[in-house]
Amino acid sequence: MSIQILKFGGTALLNQQRRSNAISQVKRALSMGITPVIVVSAMGRYGNPYSTDSLVQLLNQPSDANYTLIASCGEVISASLFSNLLEQEGIPSKCITGLDSGVYTTNSKTASSILYVDPSHIQYHIQQGMIPVVAGFQGSSVYGEITTLSRGGSDTTAAALGHALHAQEIILYTDVPGIMTADPDIVKDAKIVTHLSYEAALLLASKGARVLHPEAVNWASKYQTPIKVTSFDNQTTDEGTFIGTLTNPCDKKITYSLTSKPFNKESSTVSIVIDPLSESVFFSNFLKKVLHQNHIYSLSCTHGSIEFQILTRLEKSIVSFLHEIIDKECIYHSHQHPLYI
Ligand SMILES: Nc1ncnc2c1ncn2[C@@H]1O[C@H](COP(=O)(O)OP(=O)(O)O)[C@@H](O)[C@H]1O
Ligand SMILES: N[C@@H](CC(=O)OP(=O)(O)O)C(=O)O
């Protein structure tokens, strides 16, 4: 049996049109003889009624227990609605919460970590001919209490289930075409990165790119399960970013992506992540030269990333500026060196 984990993020479930796109993606998998296991996030973002942020804002100075319970509700609503949509299309399905998904976590209430997954309950429903729709971002403590993962943790649920069910692939459906050379919210002409090694994806996610959770990369890399990050409206799964073991030399093209995250109250860390499996030494030396010519001096330069610490109010403009100069140099050199993207 060929299992694919299809994870739909909050952005991919934002409205009726997107939810119907998501149902089409499930049908596409079924038509290819794949057994899909669905993982859903809470629908939408702050302001949308059932999003995680909207739900937690209902409480005033909540205790950990109250925060966890309300934070878990968005995914439960989503799982039940998604399962109902499948049933309306004549696709038998079973919605599953963190209490019965077999996802066991630590008990740190607001940001638990997955310890292990017992896939037997999900497997039982698959054997009964049901499509499991699992509420992401949650699990159960060993005492049987509901727990929630760190924010963005539905990616981790998807990857941990992928690992436990020996899935052939984990597909993360979101509102961008894939992992880009920078957050497209900041850099409008950011380009798609077609291939990334687990190492680079982990670096990028840990250094702030919210499109992917670092823990998800860790789970996927345990059995080398490939991850695809793609848009909810892509027609085929060929589009998007492939994260996995790079075997084809063409996949090892020089790959970079810019990201940033808060360092303290006033400052942020901006990172240029360069895939350590591509021609990274050559590229980072070249980048350092270009940055130097532009009077930009890095804070630290480690294997796979160059970092700067800057005032938070300058974050977006610095990311845009760095992207512009790196992109310009890459385009210029791509005519001379086939490894440039
Ligand atoms: N390098 C990047 N490539 C693509 N998207 C990025 C990147 N860095 C940050 N993002 C942001 O991540 C968002 C998708 O992640 P998220 O909001 O968690 O979506 P979802 O709800 O689908 O999980 C995009 O809308 C984009 O603004
Ligand atoms: N709903 C949770 C979990 C999650 O992963 O959401 P999303 O897939 O939309 O980033 C959050 O907002 O943190």
Domain edges within the chain: 3-175, 249-334
Q: Residue range 284-298: average pLDDT?
A: 74
Of 204, 210, 271, 323, the one to substitute when testing ligand 1's pocket (max ligand atoms within 8 A of C-beta) is 210
Closest ligand by atom to 149 CA: 2
Beta bridge mates, 256: 274
pLDDT, position 296: 73
Residue 170 has which token pair?
């984990």
pLDDT, position 327: 85
Ligand 2 atom with the smallest distance to the CA of 157 is: 5
Determine if ligand 1 sits within 6 Å of the CB of residue 12: yes
CA–centroid distance, 280 to ligand 2, in Å, is 32
Q: What is the pTM of this model?
A: 0.94
Q: Residue range 213-229: average pLDDT?
A: 96
CA–centroid distance, 9 to ligand 1, in Å, is 10
Angle between helices 198-206 and 214-222 (to 10 degrees): 160
Tell me which residue has its CA closest to atom 6 in ligand 2.
152
**339 has a pLDDT exceeding 90:** no
pLDDT, position 113: 96
**pLDDT band of 341, cuts 50, 70, 90:** very low
pLDDT digits (tens, 9 = 90+) for 58-83: 999 999 999 999 999 999 999 999 99
d(C-alpha 8, C-alpha 186), whole Å: 23
CA–centroid distance, 153 to ligand 1, in Å, is 13
CA–centroid distance, 42 to ligand 2, in Å, is 6
Q: Per mean pLDDT, which range of 48-52, 91-95, 109-113 is the poorest? A: 109-113
Determine if ligand 1 sits within 6 Å of the CB of residue 136: no
Q: Say if residues 161 and 39 touch (Cβ distance below 8 Å).
A: yes
CA–centroid distance, 125 to ligand 1, in Å, is 32
Q: Per mean pLDDT, which range of 228-242, 282-296, 317-331 is the poorest? A: 282-296
Give which of 184, 13, 39 is closest to 97, Cα–Cα. Answer: 39
d(C-alpha 164, C-alpha 231), whole Å: 25
Name the CATH superfamily housing domain 3-175: Acetylglutamate kinase-like (3.40.1160.10)
**Ligand 2 pocket list (CB less than 6 A):** 9-10, 41-42, 52, 74, 136-137, 151-155
The DSSP line for 95-149 is EE-TTTS-EEE---TTSB-EEEE-THHHHHHHHTT-EEEEESSEEE-TTS-EEEB
**pLDDT band of 189, cuts 50, 70, 90:** very high
CATH class as words, domain 249-334: alpha beta
Using alpha carbons, list the distances in angstroms from residue 96 to 42, 79, 173, 275: 14, 7, 19, 37
Determine if ligand 1 sits within 6 Å of the CB of residue 175: yes
Q: Say if residues 158 and 172 touch (Cβ distance below 8 Å).
A: yes
Tell me which residue has its CA closest to atom 4 in ligand 1.
179
pLDDT digits (tens, 9 = 90+) for 136-158: 999 999 999 999 999 999 999 99
CA–centroid distance, 209 to ligand 1, in Å, is 7
Ligand 2 atom with the smallest distance to the CA of 213 is: 5
